[in-house]
Amino acid sequence: MRTARLGWGLVCLTLALLVGCSSNKPKPKPLEPVAQKIAGRQVWSVKLDSVAFPLSIVSHDGQFVVASTDGTLMALDATTGRQLWRASAGAPLSAGVGSDGRFHAVVTNDNKLVGFDGAQPAWRVQLNSRVSTAPLVAGERVFVMGVDRAVQAFDAKDGTRLWTLQRPGDALTLLQNGVLTAVKDTLVAGQGPRLAGIDPTRGTVRWEVPIGNPRGTNEVERLADLVGPAVRVGNQLCARSFQAAVGCVDADTGRLIWTRNAGGVNAVGGDDEVIVGADATDRIVAWKTATGDLAWTSERMLFRGLSAPTAVGSTVAFGDFEGYVHFLDRKDGTPLLRLSTDGSQVVGKPARSGNTLLVATRNGGFFAFRPE
């Protein structure tokens, strides 16, 4: 199997409009003045090393667990930003962070899975393939999915390998966050354009359902990997198939609820009302969560390098390439509030704890906002 080892360089073959992919890319649409319609402010911030890998921020029991390129892990009180503990993997990261509040896991650039018990490194395991998806820590196990789409389970206490599920893969895969999550007693993993429900105790497949339908005349054009993290609404999981579709699945039964053809390279966000995402031109589209019917669209932020969005309160929040965080009305996309960070690109998907939103930037800034 060949993987997309050039990262965004490979993606640029098909998406020359993406920020940084072409010297002739369209200019970002100028930001319109925003008449602040809701109250909101930055409540705290923390500075770490840069974030040059596909970061997933964990929100758990009133804490945020974050990581930075140099291998630093940190837990922060979501309300105050107070540091609860700090640890180090001892090497730069390629993926992370996964946490259940006690056990944590990251993957280093030399393909080592590092497990922590609290702030103490507990074990290291050499993996056979590169990893770009954050490990999932659940049920005293650590689940890891490589770019070869092999899923492995390890004991969270000592790193013992429990099982490996190797699926047939496509010729090319993406070096960005895939889908790896849990719904009740089912582990759910993105396998190309398909969601697979897996028995977490045995590593066997319970169900499988496609969200995207790969199209194109060559391997690059047919890339349709699921991009994570997925949105969970009850038993329903919604995700984007890279440059192909957005859809929702019943994770109890593996039944496809709806799918819609849609371009785009980043994960979707949303809640029980709408699923929202930006396409390759940063045109924002919202679909009704229950049916997939179109709810609204917005072209106010074309070519601004939008992040994956997160729903918080009555808003949906996107970051952009200049470090702005845009809070839009989830009902119709109207801009309600715009706040700034450190001027560098917002990376990953903002994380939510209660009504606090944590945003990470490429320069390693972590900014907590609270819309009101």
Residue 234 phi, psi dihedral angles, 5° rounding:
65, -125
Give the pLDDT score at 76: 98
3-state secondary structure at position 10: helix
Give the pLDDT score at 217: 65
3-state secondary structure at position 235: coil
Residue 236 phi, psi dihedral angles, 5° rounding:
-95, 135
Residues of the chain short of pLDDT 50, as ranges, are 1-22
Strand pairing report for 284-288 and 294-298: antiparallel
Give the pLDDT score at 289: 98
* Global model pTM greater than 0.85: yes
Half-sphere exposure of 320 (CA within 13 A, CB side): 21
Give the pLDDT score at 170: 60
Give the pLDDT score at 216: 66
Give the pLDDT score at 169: 62
- Provide the 8-state DSSP code for 9: H
pLDDT digits (tens, 9 = 90+) for 14-44: 333 333 444 577 999 999 999 889 999 999 9
pLDDT digits (tens, 9 = 90+) for 308-364: 999 999 999 999 999 999 999 999 999 999 999 999 999 999 999 999 999 999 999
Give the pLDDT score at 22: 45
